[in-house]
Chain A
């Protein structure tokens, strides 16, 4: 292996590479996974990751793939998806919405504590009404910031409310006892 290749590898690992959105060409392959053409290279089945999923859905998106040895390789980071073309934005956004499927809580009807570490939360979400069962609820039903509520149920499904203060008064009253 020559010195140049080694340095290139080192560059990938050590530095944050911000991708030039105008050169990114994402496309769906035959199996519906996302692949990428960038700077003359083709990357099959790339992995898109929101680096700060709770704070921003469309900025700092890591684009990576696994090489033949199943090792993680990051191509770079999309700083702001807004810089992508409309069509590319749609493609990336669809993928991320799938990966981070996380219904938003829009109303809280009731919370019942079974006094054994579980709570049953009856909520309305963007994916419909549901009663979720939360285990170890001090850890799995909590505020991640002053306004952001995060909930993970026993099945591993995740829910969030970006601003609990924007909820109706009754929901807020119910929540206040538990968060």
Chain B
């Protein structure tokens, strides 16, 4: 990322390591300011004049704070002393945050990095946000994307060729039909001599044969196209899905689940239909445009010019008109959407509406939304009906020229244009008509091409992305014993915002450790690092003395069992869900695991026992039941390391007690790492790791830490206070009436 953007007035960029413009200072007033970083510290310039100088060591930490409408760079000595160095609108946030990261790195390591290693957040060409894409999907080379796309047809090129051939032959036959029509009119309909019935019969038969051949070709074309389209779509979807699951969590978390689903289904489908529909059509339509144009020019170049000359102007006008129509229909669609949302709200929340007695207010709101939609829809229809006939007339205006001048030629009123027979004129006008279909299609093509090229670049980006958490060439399959060590670990999901800072601790095998601290302090992050969902930024995590990056991911994860706060049950039966991590388990093992997890009892009470369907559309299980299935899943998995991430947080105390029995069985003899907001849950832990602001604050048993009266002590006290407050919270006293 470029952090040397512009220099203050009267200065050169070469004077600074980084120089970023900022636009707010003092009393939130617009200024022309610059924050310039040199080896000696930071300088704040306003209108080219040096206002402040800061040494790096003036503050312990630098951070970017996002306010509501702008952000500021602050320097902090501790939590209670900080200073705003400069402020800026949010478009500069990432650049300033990167500078903060670099300076903080200097403060901890003494190394001043002179080059930022993160990607540009925005496309330098179009300014649109890149959102984790390496290349802007809107500016990516369309030719490159399309060539990659067409390469995927290669396995089906034979069938695809058949489809193209069928369409080309069919188009050629369509060109022959007007010619036969012309002979029919000129030689058999118009002349007085009606003795040549044989010729007439041959022509009729030819027309019939053409129709039959066309039907056969259409059938073959459809079959071949369908075959290619389905296979191509399947290949694409499968590849994108495979690749998505291969990617690291840091790559995946840059994209939302919705975005990934879109890429697997919508984008892949769009490419599928484009290749087989538009891809083939493009070849055929361009081909027919050329053939028809050549025929028109050969038949009469003057009439052909009359047809073609207005087309570019008309296309330009019609395209603008289309945009206007598109906008009006878009507006109507938005109002229809707002109307649906309101309907959805009112009907889903009907109990609330009834209990609050707000039926009339909802009726009025609905009336307004409905009226707005009706007005917008009728306006769009009016615009459409006013514009469309005129624009279509304009597009086909050449045809009227041809009819007018062609008729004059038949009547031999314009000798300069030559003569024409009635049959020739009809043949000619049919060809002119054939010119407009590909033309209309071509007008829509740029929009479709742009749309598809975006989908193509999104899909290919996933297919070509290299996962950043990958197995080392010399990785080993380790038989894990369960000793885990964090050695000076630094890590942040965003590089400029470290979550864990210099964490060093040891987790001994077979013991239970609790990780505690405030929300967002880095507890789950430690677990993510043990699972190697992410790689550390600095330092190392080792298991049994082996750096986790040297252990194959499959071997590592097959020996770590996880029970999360919310257990996700996949679509399927209870049995499927328990055996998810070990599909080859015997039924005896499964029941044994369910019994240890205290799940067997409720499963036997389910209507179909272990075959009861659960998941989205299946039987609804309570939170406690879901957790017990997760525990059974983990027991069956037989891991060496157990991770309990707020496993009982969403359960009531009674259910927690029942689950605890299952958990105790699960953890026996295994290294267990538990995170729990409710500190009482960790009372039986052998040791506690206390995190504070991303750093390791203290470690020890509950009793030791309580005696220390440090961070853990205050956490326990704060929690006790809250519990007591809940307990003493009395009902409000009635106010005596005067």
Contact = CB atoms under 8 A, between A and B. Distances in A.
B347 interface: no
Interface string A80-103: 000000000000001001111110
Given A33-B82, A155-B90, A177-B328, A98 B725 contact: no
A44 interface: yes
Contacts, number: 97
B725 A32 contact: no
A102 B30 CA distance: 12
A114 B330 CA distance: 13
Given A10-B725, A116-B451, A155 B84 contact: no
Interface string A57-90: 0000000000001110000000000000000000
Given A69-B714, A113-B327, A31 B83 contact: yes
Contacts of A9: 725
A56 interface: no
B334 interface: yes
Chain A interface helix/strand/loop/mixed: loop
Interface in B688-725: 714, 718, 721, 724-725
Interface string B53-82: 000000000000011111000000000111
B331 interface: yes
A27 interface: no
A165 to B, nearest CB: 16
Contact of B91 (A100, A115, A155): A155
Given A115-B447, A155-B90, A53 B68 contact: yes
B728 interface: yes
Nearest to A102: B69
B85 to A, nearest CB: 10
Interface string B17-60: 00000001001101000000000000000000000000000000
B616 to A, nearest CB: 26
Nearest to A103: B69
Contacts of B128: 118, 133, 154
Contact of A156 (B90, B330, B334, B728): B90
Contacts of A6: 724-725, 728
B555 to A, nearest CB: 40
Chain B interface size range: 35 or more
Nearest to A50: B68
Contacts of B450: 115-116
Interface residues of A, number: 40
Contact of B129 (A94, A102, A116, A135): A135
Interface string A156-167: 111000000000
Interface string A113-149: 1111010000000011000010100100000000000
Interface string B446-461: 0100110010000000
Contacts of A178: 331
A17 interface: no
List the 3 closest A-B pairs by CB distance, nearest first: A155-B91, A156-B90, A98-B28
Given A138-B334, A154-B129, 18 more contacts: A6-B724, A6-B728, A32-B83, A45-B80, A94-B27, A99-B67, A100-B69, A101-B24, A101-B69, A102-B68, A115-B447, A115-B451, A116-B450, A116-B454, A118-B128, A133-B127, A154-B128, A157-B69
Interface of A: 1, 3, 6, 9-10, 30-33, 44-45, 53, 69-71, 94, 97-102, 113-116, 118, 127-128, 133, 135, 138, 153-158, 177-178
Interface of B: 24, 27-28, 30, 66-70, 80-84, 87, 89-91, 93, 122, 127-129, 138, 326-328, 330-331, 334, 337, 447, 450-451, 454, 518, 714, 718, 721, 724-725, 728-729
7 contacts: A6-B724, A30-B83, A69-B518, A98-B70, A101-B28, A128-B30, A157-B69
